[in-house]
Amino acid sequence: MKYTNLPNTETKISKICLGTMTFGEQNTEAEGHSQMDYAFENGVNFFDTAEMYSVPARQETYGSTEKIIGTWFKKTGNRENIVLATKVAGPNPNFTYMREKNDFSPKSITFALEQSLQRLQTEYVDLYQLHWPERKSNMFGSLGFKVQEDAWEDNFQSVLECLQGLIRQGKIRNIGVSNETPWGLMRFLEESKKHNLPRMATIQNPYSLVNRSFEVGLSEVCHRENVGLLAYSPMAFGVLSGKFLNGATPPNARISLFPQFARYNGENTREATKRYNEIALDFGLTLTELSLAFVAHQSFVTSTIIGATTLKQLKENIDTIGVSLNENILLEIEKIQSIFPNPAP
C-alpha cells in the first residue's frame, strides 16, 4: 500500500480509501465486515461513509452503513487503526426522515454528528464532511451553473464556527466538503483565513476517465490551496470495469439494480469505455487497472475511494496500487478524452 497525509495535517492515510455505501443494501453486515477485514489486512487504513448510506438512500436503510462499520469496530477493536470519514447530509426534500430540518445550522450539524457517533460506536470522527452544498448549485451531473430561486443565505462563517466547536470538543478532528464547486471551496478557505477558523482539508467529488470535470477550476484550487481530492466513482459505477461492454447487462450490477443512476449509462460513456478498454489491452493492462491508475496518477488526488460488492472486486481494486502509467499510455488516454470530453459529468 502507498500512504500520504491528509493535507495540512499529520494524519496518515492510505492512497486507496474503502468506500462503504453498499453496506446495508447490496452487501450484508457479514459481507461488509469481510470487506473491511480484507482492506485492513492489505494496508487500507482509510474508510469513508455517510449518514445517509446505504445507497440508494431510503428511510428503511438510513444509517445502516454506519451501523455496520460500528459493529466491526466493536468486534475487532480496530477503531484507533482506522482513519474514519463520514458526512452530514445537506438539504433534500426527500430526506425529511433524517431530522426536522436538513441544513447546516449548528443544531442540525450537531444532531447529525451525535447520531453518526452512536451508530459508528466511536467518540470521534477523523474527517467530517459536508455532503453537498445548502445552496442551489451545479452538482450531481450538472456541468453548468444556472441561476435559480434560492432562499439560502450566506453562512460559510457560521458553519465553520460550528465545526470549530465540535473540534474543540474532540468529536471531529478534520473537516472537508463534498460535491462542492470552486466558488464554494474558495469561500470556505477564505473564511477560514479571515477568521482563523478550521480549514477544509479535502474535497470529495467524482473523478474518473469518463468524468474529468474536476479538472476545470477545482484542480487549480486544490493545487494552489493544498486541498486534497478524495476521488469517488473512479470506476463510474462499475462501467469502467468493462462488465457492460458489448451490450452486457449484469443483473447484480448497481446500474442494473437501480436504473435511476443513469449518469454513467449513456451511449457516449459506453463508447468511450470501449476505447479505453482497447488502450488497456494494447498496453497489457485490464480496464480496471487503467482506470484506477489514471486517477491515482493525478497530483491533486489524495486518495481514491473504491467500492466493491465482492471480495474479488475489492482485491482487484486494491491490487492496482502497484500499477503506473507511462507517457505513451497517457497520450492515448488524452486522444480519447478529446473525442469524448466528460461523457458522464
Q: Which residues are catalytic?
A: 53
Which DSSP state fits 59?
G
Handedness of CA 68, 70, 76, 81 (dihedral sign): positive
Q: Which residues contact 312 (CB under 8 A, 6 or more apart)?
A: none
Interatomic CA distance for residues 131 and 129, integer angstroms: 6
The Cβ of residue 293 has, within 10 Å, a number of other Cβ atoms equal to 19
Cα angle, residue 78 at apex, residues 90 and 37 outer, rounded to 5°: 90
Burial of 101 (0-12, 13-18, 19+ CB in 10 A): exposed
Q: Which residues contact 272 (CB under 8 A, 6 or more apart)?
A: 209, 210, 336, 339, 340, 343
Helix (H, G, I), strand (E, B) or coil at 305: strand
Cα angle, residue 194 at apex, residues 188 and 200 outer, rounded to 5°: 30
Cis peptide before 345 (omega within 30 of 0): no
Query: In the chain, what's the furthest Cα-to-Cα distance?
Result: 55
Pair 160, 139: CB distance under 8 Å:
no
